[in-house]
Amino acid sequence: MLFSPYPKKKRGELFGRERGARGTEKSVEIGEKLITIMGIRRIGKTSLINVFANEISKRVILIDVRKICSKRRYVTEEDIIAEIRKERKWPRKDQSSEQ
């Protein structure tokens, strides 16, 4: 098969995403704490993230906002923080550690 519709994991498998890869690399180099990859469906966002995550030595948290957007058409800062807390297994802000 010449083309697989599944997300890529190696840079050599990417096609036409060089600009996005350079922008993501630059964001990490300058110390950005939160990097978002946005775009319409099926243009390679997940592939770009997979390749990038495999090449850097920092922890990457992938948040699929489709779960949030299925409830409403926007995402808030609180939504992002809640997803990060779930990934990192941090308690919610309203949960007391003194139980």
Residues 47/17, Cβ–Cβ less than 8 Å = yes
Q: Tell the burial category of 52 from Cβ atoms under 10 Å away from its Cβ (0-12, 13-18, 19+).
A: buried
Taking CA atoms, 93 is separated from 62, 78, 81, 96, in Å, by 21, 10, 10, 8
pLDDT in tens, the chain (99 residues): 567 888 888 888 888 777 878 888 899 889 898 888 888 888 888 898 888 888 888 788 888 888 788 778 888 989 988 888 888 877 766 664 544
pTM for the whole structure: 0.66
